[in-house]
Amino acid sequence: AQSVTQLGSHVSVSEGALVLLRCNYSSSVPPYLFWYVQYPNQGLQLLLKYTTGATLVKGINGFEAEFKKSETSFHLTKPSAHMSDAAEYFCAVSGPSGSARQLTFGSGTQLTVLP
């Protein structure tokens, strides 16, 4: 079985400040890790994903995440927050075979950007 824990259901940052959204996962197989963003009344959009290879992954809109196997973490960062980054962010995990291929989501982190 696999699971995702997102620490902090709500995070507030000032415009221009560092964004850090935390994600820890549990998986019995080598994980594939994803970050999705959801704007109000919209579906989820992929920000970035880790499958294999380089552990630092760059995504859209200036976001990046680093896969740390020893810490079972995949935290999302952005050096400078913009007002347009305000949204809900979901971390998700899947795996290479069997039932692990199913995408399992965390409960989400609502990001507020203060002017």
| Interface pattern 40-59 for another protein (x via CB under 8 A) | -xxxxxx--x-xx-------
Cα–Cα distances in angstroms (integers) from residue 104 to residues 3, 10, 11, 108, in the given order: 6, 20, 22, 12
Rounded least distance, CB 84 to another protein, Å: 18
- Give the range of 16-24, 31-39, 63-71, 74-82 binding another protein by CB under 8 A: 31-39
Phi/psi class of residue 17: alpha, beta or left (left: φ > 0; alpha: ψ in -120 to 50)?
Answer: beta
Q: Is 111 in the site for another protein (CB under 8 A)?
A: no
Pairing mode, if any, of strands 109-114 and 87-94? antiparallel
- Residues in touch with another protein (CB under 8 A): 4, 9, 32, 34, 36, 41-46, 49, 51-52, 90, 92, 94-97, 99-103, 105-108
